[in-house]
Amino acid sequence: MECEGEPQIHTPPGLPESLISIEQLAGIITKVIFQSSVGHAAVNFLQFDYGCYAPNVPALLKGKIPTEEDKGQIFLHRIKDTLPGRENSLEQAGAAFVLSEFSEDEVFLLPKDEKNRAKWLFTELEAKLVFDKFLSRLEHIENSINARNDTLREKGEIPYEVLLPSRIPYGIAI
């Protein structure tokens, strides 16, 4: 029961009101880390690939929004008339390009060289060992993706490189 004058505490969906174990805390931290690295990379770094072509993801539409009564009455000419013009499409492509670029000082989950590995983050031996195990697992994942991509290239298909661990930043930089 709430008392007058007491601040309301809002618990976001998916979060418990209290933590009762280290495992619960680790699960929450894991989700935050995943969303700010892998989850973000999966969405963000494809923005230019899809957003540079206005009909894929139009940032602007002209005309009235179709209603349920318009069902079956919308033809190609009406669709073309709603799409943005060249200038708006170029602005959208430019924004998508900028948003999908890596920061110049980006730190990746799996750096390409030993010098850029973030081992300096850890001072305890056990933490360093866990980090090395994590990097080893990422290398295995990267090798699997690269092998699959090589097969795709041999078939003349397009490789998928967005979620290569060497292309996933540690966090979000805008």
> pLDDT tens per residue, the chain (174 residues)?
455 555 555 555 677 888 889 998 998 888 888 998 999 999 888 888 888 888 888 888 888 878 889 888 888 888 888 888 899 999 999 999 998 888 888 888 888 776 666 667 788 999 889 888 999 999 999 999 999 999 999 999 999 998 999 999 988 876
Model confidence, pTM: 0.70
Q: Which residues pair with 108 in a beta bridge?
A: 169
Nearest to 38 by CA among 174, 164, 132, 160: 164
State the residue for tokens 């979000």: 172
Q: Which residues pair with 141 in a beta bridge?
A: none
Ordered by start, the domain boundaries in the chain are: 103-174
Structure tokens at 72: 């079956």
Nearest to 134 by CA among 12, 3, 30: 30
